[in-house]
Chains A and B, each alone.
Chain A
Amino acid sequence: MGRRLVLGMLGLGAAGVAFAPYLQRGLESFLGSAADKDPTGLTGLLPNGGGFRYYSVASSVPRRTAENYRLTVDGLVRHPAAYTLADLRSLPQTRVVRDVQCVTGWRVPDTPFEGVKLSHLLDAAGVRPQARAIRFTCFDGTYSESLTLTQARRDDVLVALRMQDKPVSHSHGGPVRLYVAPMYFYKSAKWLSGITVTEAVRPGYWEERGYDVDAWVGRSNGRTDTPTV
């Protein structure tokens, strides 16, 4: 009898895996609408409950404010620069509203990001002809990311100062984070502090640990999510 129950659980588990795509679709739409009306936020703790999840690879992240935040641009550029928060705010701002898709499965629909186009900073720095890629570093001291130069010049790649029409908060990677609209959200590095133009792509933190370097939503990491762009 006990053995039958063990086998029954195994059978249910296998059935769960087999029917997961159907169950998941139903639950996602149900929980998604429930989460909109849930003042307690408890539905956010349920799997696929909607909303952002906090991921950090560092043990603790220092806080940076308008006084001590700097974004450096260096590497294969003619004019290396260091931007303060005020400098970045004074540049032309672009607003992009797309879904956010995490590689672990959660998706947040229609999330506004606003900031300076990365291509604007690259143009101002004067990228040298042999440059092919960008390496991003972060003031958490650990995280890094990468893009090819072509990807970095897209109009929907931002150095974001605002998210959900508020200044980017510390736990969302503020005061300044990267936003790469067409890719899985691990490309949108939080706590951005360095932009280095390089000759070749140097894989970032998660990419050294097995994630795809070209992280197009729906066409990488073995996932079939609806593209965000």
Chain B
Amino acid sequence: MRVRRFSRAERWVHRTTAALMLLCIATAAALYVPQLAELVGRRHLVVTVHQWSGLLLPVPFLLGLASRAFRADLRRLNRFAPYDSRWLRAVRRREHGPQARPAGKFNAGQKIYAAWIAGATLVMLGTGLLMWFTGLTPLVWRTSATFVHDWLSLGVGIVVAGHIAMALADPEARRGMRTGWVERQWSRDHHPRWPADE
């Protein structure tokens, strides 16, 4: 017995965002890590790819707003329920199982991840634009923007790596994002409050 988790539009938003994000991270690494920079070279090309993949990063999200299912999931991600604090408490105490960790369609961790990465992406975009179009703003801004962009990139890299590690640990969650469908038993175990969340 399977249940519908993500619509085709949502899966394409995720796929294109993921591709652009990985492109951003890969080009950033090729610009920043000395050993990789030495291997890849082609600095001007790598910079151009990095700038454009970063600029395009919010586009799948914006196009996704045309989808009713996507907007509905955004509302779910935005809404924190009392059971979300219980979920977070259970994480701190290392308690497992559906009883200890109640969750709607998205658990509290997913909600925090979604909001954090959205905010971080906007900050990266803003500081990135300040570094790109240096003529638009006072000159000291570029150094400051570079500082924030550099340090936050470390944070984004670690958090996205965590996101991927979570997905790797849960094949059914991956299948949900790949095919749009998940086993009903999985949804009962991991997202017991999902039906009430509809």
Q: Which of A8, A9, A53 contacts B37 (CB 8 A)?
A: A53
* A9 adjacent to B116 (CB under 8 Å): yes
- Decide yes or no whether A20 CB sits under 8 A from chain B: yes
* A20 adjacent to B148 (CB under 8 Å): yes
Q: Hey, which chain A residues are within 8 Å of B139, CB to CB?
A: 222-224
- Decide yes or no whether B33 CB sits under 8 A from chain A: yes
In A1-31, the 8 Å CB interface with B consists of 1-10, 12-13, 16-18, 20-21, 23-24
Interface size on A, residues (CB 8 A): 41
* A5 adjacent to B115 (CB under 8 Å): yes
Interface residues of A (CB under 8 A from B): 1-10, 12-13, 16-18, 20-21, 23-24, 44-48, 52-61, 104-105, 171, 209, 222-224
* B78 adjacent to A1 (CB under 8 Å): yes
Q: Which residue of chain A is the closest to B144 with respect to CB atoms? A: A20
Chain B, interface residues (CB within 8 Å), range: 35 or more
- Docked complex Cα distance between A48 and B151 (Å): 10
Q: Which residue of chain A is the closest to B151 with respect to CB atoms? A: A47
- Docked complex Cα distance between A112 and B191 (Å): 62
Question: With A47-B151, A56-B37 as given contacts, are A13 and B42 in contact (CB-CB < 8 Å)?
Answer: no
* A21 adjacent to B144 (CB under 8 Å): yes
Query: Would you give the 0/1 interface string for B94-138, flagging 1 where the beta carbon is closer than 8 Å to chain A?
Result: 000000000000000001101110111011001100100010000
- Docked complex Cα distance between A48 and B115 (Å): 28
* A57 adjacent to B41 (CB under 8 Å): yes
- Decide yes or no whether B160 CB sits under 8 A from chain A: no
Could you give 20 example pairs across A and B, Cβ below 8 Å?
A1-B80, A1-B115, A2-B114, A4-B115, A10-B119, A10-B123, A13-B119, A13-B122, A13-B127, A46-B154, A53-B37, A57-B41, A57-B42, A57-B44, A58-B42, A59-B42, A222-B139, A222-B142, A224-B140, A224-B143
Count contacts between A and B, CB distance < 8 Å: 118
Q: Hey, which chain B residues are within 8 Å of A56, CB to CB?
A: 37-38, 41-43
- Docked complex Cα distance between A171 and B120 (Å): 34
* A47 adjacent to B150 (CB under 8 Å): yes
- A208–chain B nearest beta-carbon distance, Å: 10
Q: Which of A1, A17, A61, A171 contacts B79 (CB 8 A)?
A: A1
- Decide yes or no whether B146 CB sits under 8 A from chain A: yes
- Docked complex Cα distance between A2 and B109 (Å): 11
Q: Which of B80, B114, B123, B143 contacts A20 (CB 8 A)?
A: B143
Q: Which of A9, A17, A171 contacts B141 (CB 8 A)?
A: A17
- Decide yes or no whether B195 CB sits under 8 A from chain A: no
- 3 closest cross-chain pairs (CB), A and B: A9-B119, A13-B123, A47-B150
Query: Would you give the 0/1 interface string for B59-78, flagging 1 where the beta carbon is closer than 8 Å to chain A?
Result: 00000000000000000011
* B146 adjacent to A57 (CB under 8 Å): no
* B38 adjacent to A54 (CB under 8 Å): yes
* B115 adjacent to A3 (CB under 8 Å): yes
Q: Which residue of chain B is the closest to A16 with respect to CB atoms? A: B148
* A61 adjacent to B146 (CB under 8 Å): no
- Decide yes or no whether B147 CB sits under 8 A from chain A: yes
Extra pairs beyond A2-B79, A44-B34, A60-B41 (5, CB < 8 Å): A3-B78, A20-B145, A53-B32, A209-B44, A224-B140
* B77 adjacent to A2 (CB under 8 Å): yes
- Docked complex Cα distance between A25 and B41 (Å): 30
* A54 adjacent to B37 (CB under 8 Å): yes
* A45 adjacent to B123 (CB under 8 Å): no
Q: Hey, which chain A residues are within 8 Å of B143, CB to CB?
A: 20-21, 24, 105, 223-224
* A54 adjacent to B34 (CB under 8 Å): yes
Q: Which of B37, B123, B126, B140 contacts A21 (CB 8 A)?
A: B140
- Docked complex Cα distance between A60 and B141 (Å): 34
- B191–chain A nearest beta-carbon distance, Å: 17
* B33 adjacent to A45 (CB under 8 Å): yes
